[in-house]
Amino acid sequence: MKKKSRFLQTPIEPFVVEEGLSADALLARMERISFQGRNLATAHRIWQKMLQDDVTIFLGMAGALSAGGLRMIVAYLIANRYVDVLVSTGANLYHDLHETRGRRHYVGSTHADDAALAHDRIDRVYDTYASEEEFIDNDNWVAKFAASLDKRPYTSREFLHLLGGHLWDTTGQDGILTAAYRAKVPIFCPAIADSSIGMGLSQARQHVPGAGYIDIIGDIVESANIVIRRPRTASVVLGGGTPKNFINQASVQAEFYSDQVGGHSYALQIVTDVPHYGGASGSSLEEAQSWGKLSVDSDKVSVQADATIALPILTTALAASARSIVAERRMPIFTLEGTMTIDGQPVPCNRFEEVNEPAV
């Protein structure tokens, strides 16, 4: 009998429909189908592995995920420490703040008359609406808070921790910023100047000269120092954008100052952009290996899917499959007032910690 090719090892197992399957059971049945379904099931498995391993997990989020109804998922991941560090666009934090302050986004239509919306001062995000007046009130709220701070530069990380605290104190409501404040999870926002939070900060200057300074370069130093302190890392990316690159940059930058850093050990991305136009958002995880952003033996998967489909399933599945794993995690412990600390050691924003000894 003819020998089978070495390429034909693991048969595809067709998905069998069964009433009542939970999200984790669904993903378990999708592990041996093909294409993005398989990739989503693999993402579930890799996230479990991250949680079992002793790694610091960075979560990046770009795209209108907060406005689009995913902010409580991210808050859940933070509160329950499925992730350790958040890197976000400003818009996601702003839309989170909007809802934590008791305002809402609304179900809208993609076939809206945008001139009519403009007349009513309704802002549209694809199929979702929000009130511009409520947004302006948020801006003022952020501006007022920023104006109340010391006249010194704050990293976005420190500012967002304080903002989260202020939000928790005034609302007592769950959300991304408040969950991160309470769980002492740092949030970096490298493109804060390109968001309504940045607009609020800029408006603080109208009230108090010299207010609203963000030391965005200090964020680079802090984030790299986290990796220098704990060189084994994982990257979970939703939607690409600046968070994706910033997480990779932390690793690359850390490697300049520490021999022990060698790229993320795990990487999982859920993206809708594609690689073939050369942009970073859609770039492949293989390409990231050439840069040393990921280690060449990292466990990795890229899922081409809208996060509004992929994330509800994935996190619901993890809530069941990873509950006991998370309970036993050896996660990093941060303090976030003034100079950040990790596991009791300071993480400065004004110089990189240099580690030249060989890895043990």
Q: Is 148 an interacting residue with respect to its own copies (CB under 8 A)?
A: no
CB of 66 to its own copies, least distance (A): 8
Q: Which is nearer to its own copies, 291 or 333 (CB)?
A: 291
- In the block, tokens 């990293």 appear at 155
Q: Bridge-partner residues for 93, per DSSP?
A: none
Q: Select which of 3, 151, 184, 293 is catalytic.
A: 293
Q: Is 221 an interacting residue with respect to its own copies (CB under 8 A)?
A: yes
* Alpha carbon distance 126, 107 (integer Å): 10
Q: Is 290 an interacting residue with respect to its own copies (CB under 8 A)?
A: yes
Judged by CB under 8 A, the residue of 101, 184, 306, 335 near its own copies is: 306
CB of 111 to its own copies, least distance (A): 7
Backbone angles phi, psi at 316, to 5 degrees: -65, -40
Query: What are the structure tokens assigned to 32, written together?
Result: 């041996």
* Alpha carbon distance 250, 349 (integer Å): 13
CB of 102 to its own copies, least distance (A): 11
- Segment 49-54 long-range contacts (CB within 8 Å, at least 24 positions apart): 49/266, 49/299, 50/234, 50/236, 50/266, 50/268, 51/82, 51/322, 51/325, 51/326, 51/329, 52/325, 53/232, 53/234, 53/265, 53/266, 54/232, 54/330
Q: Is 343 an interacting residue with respect to its own copies (CB under 8 A)?
A: no
Q: Is 131 an interacting residue with respect to its own copies (CB under 8 A)?
A: yes
3-class DSSP state for residue 34? coil
Q: Is 132 an interacting residue with respect to its own copies (CB under 8 A)?
A: yes
* Alpha carbon distance 182, 136 (integer Å): 27
**Any catalytic annotation for residue 4?**
no
Q: Which 186-215 positions form the footprint of its own copies (CB under 8 A)? A: 190-195, 198-199, 201-203, 205-206, 209-210, 212-215
Judged by CB under 8 A, the residue of 280, 325, 326, 355 near its own copies is: 280
Q: Is 340 an interacting residue with respect to its own copies (CB under 8 A)?
A: no
CB of 183 to its own copies, least distance (A): 15
Active centre residues (catalytic): 293
